[in-house]
Amino acid sequence: MKIEKVGILGLGALGILYAEKLSKVLGEDLYILVDSERKERYLKEGVFLNGKMLNLNYLDYEKDSQELDLIIVSLKSYHVKDTLPKIVGLAGEKTLFISLLNGIDSEEIIEERFGENAVLYAVAQGMDATRDGRSLYYSNTGNISLGEKNNQPSKRLEAVKNLFDQASIEWNTPADIHLQLWSKLMLNAGINQVLALYEGSYEDFQKDPKIRKLTIDIMREVKTVANQKGIAITEEEIQKWIKILDGLDPKMKPSMAQDVEYGRKMEIGSFSGKICELGEKLGVPTPLNKKIKEDLELKEKKYQE
């Protein structure tokens, strides 16, 4: 299997970063999938990475038709269900999907629309970036963990790895991709939500005992839910993330704190919302996630009024 035509759905931070890398390898066979309004706006205003405008190839999924080998979904999680039906004309029987969305349910949503065999599981992590509209600034590109749903090797997994190698996109294949997805969710439920609530940066986690404790306590609550679901996250995994957070640029902010700063909608439903939902199903109390979910929803409502 060889991947020759690739579409990126969603020009957030990850979409911009990987569009720049893949366009160097694929040229005009890298398509940014947009509606008519966004195509016109992006062409007029431009998309920028570290101050440099990118020359991207836009495909209007409302008008154009093109069967793609790979579609990388990098939307905000709350846009997925509404957007997927609009790109059915771009996906054939052999089209493969990779989701770089936060949370643990985007793969299932894509499978419901395009079939279980259409999805390769993935999680992006370690990226250090700030996005303001269509402008992205970063210093660390991070990496993408890849795996089949059954954690077995496959030809299509190798094809994606080969493409990423050509595009200088760092990747790894963990022993259990589901553990990796849950670990990232655990991190996001903690650091993303707490710093969004307090409108802080990583320095606040590193120096403020109250913020640090709440972040870690929420992560441990997520770990309890994960363990009850059969995901073997350990305390060592939490300590690994703490060490990483302590080493980040103190002035930088995670994506949800940036959402608050720029008045954008937050992915609350994919973090505390999902944990509360699963906790109720599994009989695991989730008071910290319930409280921060309510607080963040109130904050979002106030700045969006």
Q: What confidence score (pLDDT) does residue 102 get?
A: 86
- What is the Cα–Cα distance from 71 to 5, expressed in whole angstroms? 9
Phi, psi of 133 (to 5 degrees): 65, -125
Q: Is 277 exposed, middle or buried (0-12, 13-18, 19+ CB in 10 A)?
A: middle
**Distance (Å, rounded) from C-alpha 292 to C-alpha 103?**
16
Average pLDDT, the chain: 94
Residues of the chain with pLDDT under 50: none
Residue 130 pLDDT: 83
Instruction: Give the pLDDT score at 215.
Output: 98
Q: Starting at the edge strand that comes first in sequence, how are the strands of the sheet with 91-99 ordered?
A: 57-60, 30-34, 6-9, 68-73, 91-99, 119-125, 143-147, 171-172
Instruction: Specify the 3-state DSSP secondary structure of 101.
Output: coil
For 28-82, the pLDDT digits (tens) are 999 999 999 999 999 999 999 999 999 999 999 989 888 999 999 999 888 899 9
What is the structure's pLDDT at 139?
Answer: 81
Q: Hey, is 295 helix, strand or coil? A: helix
Residue 131's alpha-carbon distances to 28, 49, 87, 135, 137, in angstroms, are: 25, 9, 25, 6, 6
pLDDT of residue 132: 81
Q: What is the pLDDT of residue 19?
A: 96
Predicted confidence at residue 44, as pLDDT, reads 94
Output the pLDDT for position 116. 85
pLDDT at 76: 86
